[in-house]
Amino acid sequence: MLMLALSGMRTRWITFVGSFVALALGVGLIAATGLALAATFDAPERGPERFAAAPVVVRAADHLRVDTPTGTRTKPLDHPGPVGPRTADRLAALGRTVEDRTFPADVTAAPTGPDAKAARTGADAKQPRTGLDVTAARSGPDAKAARTGADAKQPRTGPDLTAARTGADAKQPRTGPDVTAARTGAGAGKSRPGQDAEARVGHPWPVAAAAPYRLTSGRAPAAPGEVVVTTRPGGAPLRTGDRVLVRTPAGNGPRTVVGTVAGRGFEDAVFFTDDEAARISPDIDALVVHADATAVRRALGPDSGMDVLTGHDRRRADPDPDRDARALVSVNALLGTAAGITLFVSAAVVASTFSFAVAQRRREFGLLRTAGATPGQIRRTVCAEAVLVGVLASAAGVWLGAGGAPLLVGRMTGAGLAPPWFALGDASWPLHTAFWTGVFVATAGALVSCHRAGRTAPTEALREAAVDSRVMPASRWAAAVLVLLAGLGLPALALAVDPGDLLGRKSYITRPMLLVVGFALLAPVLVRPVGRLLTWLPARLPGATGVLVRENTAAGVRRTAAVAAPVLITVALAATLTGTVATLEEARAAESRTATTADFVVTSGQEGRPMAPAFVERARAVEGAVVSVSRSTAVTVLEEDTALVTSEARAVDPARLAAVSELPVTAGRLSDLDDGAIVVNEEWLTTRVGDRVTVWLGDGRKASLRIAAVLATGTGDNGVYVTRRNAGGAGVDRIDVKVAEGADRRAVAAALQSAGAATGTRVTTRAEWLAANGPGTNDQTRTGLRMILGIALLCTATALANTLVMATSDRVRDLAVLRLAGATAPQVLRLVAAEAVVAVGVGAVLGGVVAAVNLLVVWGALVLLGVMSAVVVPWGTLGLVVAAAALLAAVSAVLPASLALRTRPVELAGARE
């Protein structure tokens, strides 16, 4: 059998080269994505950054801990509290302590001339140029006097902690060195037209040694108005002696750069004197203690609500300490999706290629049966060929994958899909997995394809060689029906039970695969009617080309199905993925348009940063404006005594909320929201108006709240609403403004713009805000989709080229007969190209049907969730995919045909296999 297999491979080398290339590429893609995926499991553990040189760090507990019958459950707190003055004094008795304060400190070039005086607003304008006692800023009767301007009006304690503070982590840049990109809106970092603010964070200078930061030029700040800044490649070119304008929660003010330190990658910082930092942000976010950790814990006691961090645990005090974990989860999800789609597409393409390769050899199998070969011998021959090709192609694919994995990781880090430090590990199991997957797919594909050939009688096999007939055995019919029933039944069940589950990424990525498999199994039956539909008009045009295309498509069912299968997969995935994402974006935009009725919307623009208190005060004072101030927070509930579930929430003024929004209320009334109530959505387990729910607020406080109203689930953005008292210490991050009836809209707009210009806050109209938050995915999502679709397109391109080269090379006698009948070489080439394009069209139509079903399922889920939005069909993406496939198919069919036509038609017509 092995010698017979080798002989067959030498004779039909084109067929086996096509199968080899398809399999090697699939295995290579699986190996590359597998290696990158394995790196997410073995990523190096990153140590502390901000407090790497600190012996002990004390900060308020940043996790909620709840005892349940099944153990202690934990959840991160949205707004951890500060370190109290008494705690700081108690720990100061153990050894030297350094107080850390973290607050926004955005930097622009200092204005000169007439603008210089106007730049000094709020607290800074009133601040004397001499020192300020940090103790007075922290406690005692002088504490209020130390807090001037906008800060003076903020309460010191209680649920409404100063708006300048939202927790040490919350105020840090979300992505380390790329903090500049996190500006508020398109230009919220502007102190005056033409000047962009560089978003930074402020700290007291003494805490710089905890990183440690080291001066590279100048000296430490010694007086108010002096700062030290970090520098980094690509950042603002700040140097010692520069005058800059620094915007802080206490106001704007010019300052002098007296020193610089090299940036360490996790933040862009501005360091103030200890006294000035205490005036800007009185609360202590963390405390560096130079003492024994055991003594610190003993001094605090077991119920202090403080965390004592040493060793690796000090990383929890870094800016956004979970960013690496989130980045790895994101990379893992993207690569897992890519690996799954790669495996699915590769297996389908390889199976289709092997199936067509075996179908081409029906005459050969018939001759072997006539010569006395048994069905088992034929199966063993084909299986031996498949194993041989599978082993060689899989080995080549593993080599390609090992070389391509570093390129994939480099592309991901360069595109921002993975953090800069992400790198390949030493795992080898993805290579073994890819190799044996390739061998299995090759063997399974060949076995399935040759099963019917082995069972066919010799004379019947020879008869089938002329025209494809009975291409759908009963087993394939049964498999197709079962897969289609599953592909349609599971979404129908989800629509009836939990429509929201259909909007999840895992659902809309995996759901099309069942329908793709079902339609691919039915392709031999669907090819003829779809092909006749596509060729109906060309067949009625003058000339014989249209008629020949129609008849050849109907006669060569297996060839057409083999070409259509990869196109079906790619079109279905492209339309479903991009269409579903675009439809969900449009649905969210529709919800925003319906829910937001304000004339102006102002947001802080950077996650975790509060809005300037001075702007909040000035906005509230605008005559003729109804101002609704809200805060982003979170509430956590214990579901079924087993799981802590955290929901995003907004703290609002109920009376003002009704004036600027129309939320989708399904039960209760928003006006009933008060300090003892909560508004929930239909995803909550308890949704009966009047019932009480026990929740933990953003700062960890436990509260029992009455359900005042219930909102429709929608796309998932309809969160929870509480009042300011239950905001958990959150700062204002959004203001909705409605022009009162009879008021002058222009005057209100001018007043808001004036307040925004004075505080560096960008005021947007409702239309501008909706446009900025309308349909359109972020860059990372878009790049991830491109990567996934690129993998599918690569597999499709390879399969199309292989199948058409194999098919055209097998039709040389047919082409010669056309030449002998009087057709010219260009006419024959046009016919071959037209047949290839029609086959692509068949796959595009079937893929479009799959995509249409999936998009209708998404639309139905949205309707059931109370969102009326149109289905967005990605016509541009589909057009590009189909056009590229048609062009590639035409070229792949014409090139081997043109080479074959160089031989005299009489010689070709007399050729035998």
Same domain as 784, residue 744: no
Same domain as 340, residue 446: yes
Q: Strand, coil or helix: what is 5?
A: helix
Pick from 824, 804, 800: which is nearest to 893 by CA? Answer: 804
Strands 625-639 and 71-76: unpaired
Question: At 504, is the pLDDT very low, low, confident or very high (cuts 50, 70, 90)?
Answer: confident
Give CA 575 to chain center in angstroms.
18
Same domain as 457, residue 392: yes
Burial class of 78 by CB neighbour count within 10 A (0 to 12, 13 to 18, 19+): buried
Pick from 356, 831, 792: which is nearest to 561 by CA? Answer: 356
Same domain as 461, residue 417: yes
Residue 285 has φ and ψ, to the nearest 5°, of: -85, -35
Q: Which of 442, 466, 490 is the last residue of a domain?
A: 466
* pLDDT value for 844: 94
As a whole number of angstroms, the distance between CA 442 and CA 767 comes to: 56
Question: At 778, is the pLDDT very low, low, confident or very high (cuts 50, 70, 90)?
Answer: low
Kindly state whether residue 735 falls inside one of the protein's structural domains.
yes
Across-strand partners of 625? Answer: 739
Q: What percentage of the chain exceeds 70 in pLDDT?
A: 82
Kindly state whether residue 74 falls inside one of the protein's structural domains.
no
**Residue 552 pLDDT more than 60?**
yes
* pLDDT value for 869: 83
pLDDT digits (tens, 9 = 90+) for 353-411: 777 777 667 667 767 777 777 777 777 777 887 888 889 999 999 999 999 999 989 88
Across-strand partners of 201? Answer: 104, 269
* pLDDT value for 693: 95
If phi > 0 it is left, if psi is from -120 to 50 it is alpha, else beta; for residue 320 that is left
As a whole number of angstroms, the distance between CA 645 and CA 650 comes to: 16
pLDDT digits (tens, 9 = 90+) for 73-96: 888 888 888 999 999 999 999 999
As a whole number of angstroms, the distance between CA 540 and CA 798 comes to: 34
* pLDDT value for 692: 95
Pick from 794, 850, 149: which is nearest to 488 by CA? Answer: 850
| Host H or E run for residue 666 | strand 665-668
Kindly state whether residue 605 falls inside one of the protein's structural domains.
no
* pLDDT value for 122: 41
Give CA 65 to chain center in angstroms.
30
The residue type found at 435 is F
* pLDDT value for 110: 62
As a whole number of angstroms, the distance between CA 417 and CA 784 comes to: 7
Please, are residues 287 and 88 in contact by the beta-carbon 8 Å criterion? yes
As a whole number of angstroms, the distance between CA 720 and CA 709 comes to: 10
DSSP 82: P
Give CA 211 to chain center in angstroms.
32
* pLDDT value for 475: 77
Strands 306-309 and 643-652: unpaired
Kindly state whether residue 73 falls inside one of the protein's structural domains.
no
As a whole number of angstroms, the distance between CA 624 and CA 746 comes to: 10
Q: Among the ranges 141-155, 464-478, 565-579, 892-906, which has the highest mean pLDDT value?
A: 565-579
Q: Strand, coil or helix: what is 860?
A: helix
As a whole number of angstroms, the distance between CA 304 and CA 90 comes to: 12
Kindly state whether residue 16 falls inside one of the protein's structural domains.
yes
* pLDDT value for 887: 93
Number of Cα atoms under 13 Å in the Cβ half of residue 153:
12
As a whole number of angstroms, the distance between CA 673 and CA 657 comes to: 10
Same domain as 373, residue 291: no
CB-based contacts of 129: which residues, under 8 Å, 6+ apart? 223, 224, 225
CB-based contacts of 190: which residues, under 8 Å, 6+ apart? 108, 196, 197, 757, 760, 762
**Residue 535 pLDDT more than 50?**
yes
Domain that holds residue 333: 1-48+318-466
**Residue 459 pLDDT more than 70?**
no
CB-based contacts of 768: which residues, under 8 Å, 6+ apart? none
Pick from 348, 394, 431: which is nearest to 31 by CA? Answer: 431
The residue type found at 227 is V
Burial class of 259 by CB neighbour count within 10 A (0 to 12, 13 to 18, 19+): buried
| Host H or E run for residue 330 | helix 323-359
Same domain as 380, residue 250: no
CB-based contacts of 806: which residues, under 8 Å, 6+ apart? 14, 15, 18, 356, 357, 360
DSSP string, 30-81: HHHHHHHHHHHHSPPPP--STTTT-SEEEEE--EEEEEETTEEEEEE-SS--
If phi > 0 it is left, if psi is from -120 to 50 it is alpha, else beta; for residue 198 that is beta
Number of Cα atoms under 13 Å in the Cβ half of residue 21:
17
List the CATH number of the domain containing 295: 3.30.70
Same domain as 387, residue 373: yes
**Residue 645 pLDDT more than 70?**
yes
Pick from 212, 322, 203: which is nearest to 270 by CA? Answer: 203
| Of the listed ranges 465-469, 578-582, 887-891, the one predicted with least confidence | 465-469
**Residue 155 pLDDT more than 50?**
no
**Residue 188 pLDDT more than 50?**
no
| Mean pLDDT across 586-602 | 89
As a whole number of angstroms, the distance between CA 280 and CA 258 comes to: 19
As a whole number of angstroms, the distance between CA 169 and CA 57 comes to: 14
Same domain as 866, residue 751: no
Q: Strand, coil or helix: what is 827?
A: helix
pLDDT digits (tens, 9 = 90+) for 52-75: 999 999 999 888 888 888 888 888
Kindly state whether residue 772 falls inside one of the protein's structural domains.
no
As a whole number of angstroms, the distance between CA 57 and CA 54 comes to: 7
DSSP string, 615-629: HHHHHHT-TTEEEEE
Number of domains comprising the chain: 5
Pick from 758, 762, 800: which is nearest to 617 by CA? Answer: 758
Kindly state whether residue 623 falls inside one of the protein's structural domains.
yes
Same domain as 629, residue 499: no
DSSP string, 439-507: HHHHHHHHHHHHHHHHHS-HHHHHHHTTS------HHHHHHHHHHHHHHHHHHHHHHHH-GGGGGSHHH
Question: At 677, is the pLDDT very low, low, confident or very high (cuts 50, 70, 90)?
Answer: very high
Other residues' Cβ atoms within 10 Å of the Cβ of residue 690 = 11
Q: What is the pTM of this model?
A: 0.76
Same domain as 496, residue 402: no
Higher pLDDT, 139 or 604: 604
| Of the listed ranges 218-227, 450-459, 479-488, 506-515, the one predicted with least confidence | 450-459
pLDDT digits (tens, 9 = 90+) for 852-907: 999 999 999 998 888 888 899 999 889 999 999 999 999 988 988 888 777 766 66
**Residue 467 pLDDT more than 70?**
no
Kindly state whether residue 604 falls inside one of the protein's structural domains.
no
Same domain as 249, residue 148: yes
**Residue 519 pLDDT more than 80?**
yes
CB-based contacts of 265: which residues, under 8 Å, 6+ apart? 49, 176, 177, 232
Q: Rg of the chain over CA atoms, in angstroms?
A: 34
**Residue 190 pLDDT more than 60?**
no
Strands 226-231 and 251-262: parallel
Same domain as 264, residue 144: yes
Number of Cα atoms under 13 Å in the Cβ half of residue 237:
0
As a whole number of angstroms, the distance between CA 795 and CA 33 comes to: 14
Burial class of 158 by CB neighbour count within 10 A (0 to 12, 13 to 18, 19+): exposed
